[in-house]
Structure 1
Amino acid sequence: MKSKNIVTPLRQQGAALLVSLVILLVLTVLALSSMQGTTLQERMVSSQRDAQIALEGAEFALQAAEAELAGPTLPTFENSKGLYQEDDDLPVALQTLAGILDPASWQAPAGGGHGNNTRAAPMPREEIDGVEMDLLAEPPRYFIKATPGVGSASSSGFGLGVGGAGDSVQQSGLSGTVYRVVAFSSGASGQAVRAIEAYVVRAD
């Protein structure tokens, strides 16, 4: 009787499975890390875009103030509703940089419009797919304060100051009044606050 060689398979040690699990773990960690990086970049871009929109909103309010000062007749400066005479004190909330950058200082009155120490600019709108939509969370706002015509010191509060703007007007041969305008917007999200300051000369 002939004998046959019987080959018995070697017992598996599980090495291939272990290596596969390690590779899978590494790939999972890399994928999660990539997703987190992408999410962070999206947030950064969104925040940067909102900040740019807020700045453009503040510039829109500044243009509204300039248009008001350029009109044939000036509005009445009576130390209210965002219009302040040279000798008027600004409200406490608008006398410091921290206050100016605080959205609570620019809170619109009930029903909107001028009031609560500031003035409302029109809401910028854009037509998207045939529907007009607001571009900002709330209308941008501003206030105007007449400043000394000559020899003016630093403006109180914002830290930039007119710094002799009145003197420059006098030296240029012009005759007029210098107005300090501070405009504010909170952007499309209502969280990206931006404020800008400008000085506008209205010739006599």
Structure 2
Amino acid sequence: MSKAARTKQLIIEKAAPLFNTKGVAGTSMSDILTVTKLAKGSLYVHFENKENLVHEVVDYQLGRLSEVVRTTMGRQKTAKAQLFAYIDLHLDPMQPPLLGGCPLLNFGTEADDTNEVVRKKVNAVVEGAQQNFRRIIEAGIANDEFKPDWNASEFATKLFAMVEGGILMTRVAQNNQAMKLIAGVLKKEIEENAA
């Protein structure tokens, strides 16, 4: 990796937690300069403007989250264990996998009305997660792990929406009661659909 590529990656990595914690609107280029300890000119050599940096940071953060989820679920041997692993990964939103919380929620809620590029990036990951859950459930049905009449698409949407909603509720309330309840409800439905 060239020096320029390393510097660009350093900027993205240092900026990512700031944007994820303070939001796009709340993070200034001065904040980025402070955490990277770079001169203004050096920053603008790599990123024409804040919007270009935001797009790269969003890709980076969504990629990191996807990798954590993939790795966590990939350690499991059964479809049921994979679904449980996803739920357990998010069981304590006060200690999230990425600093600042869920980038899907953070970037998605900020960008839904203000940044079409970021909205589309977040939506692609949301849709991809639901497709992945559906495939896992369908594989579990094919392997006689789950009942054949379980609606994989419906539960995939429910799983994603309830976990993300639980993350929001927990972080806003500053307690984990909602997520514990949600995790229990989801796991119960998975158990009820086991073959």
The TM-score bracket by the shorter chain reads under 0.3
TM-score relative to the length of structure 1: 0.22
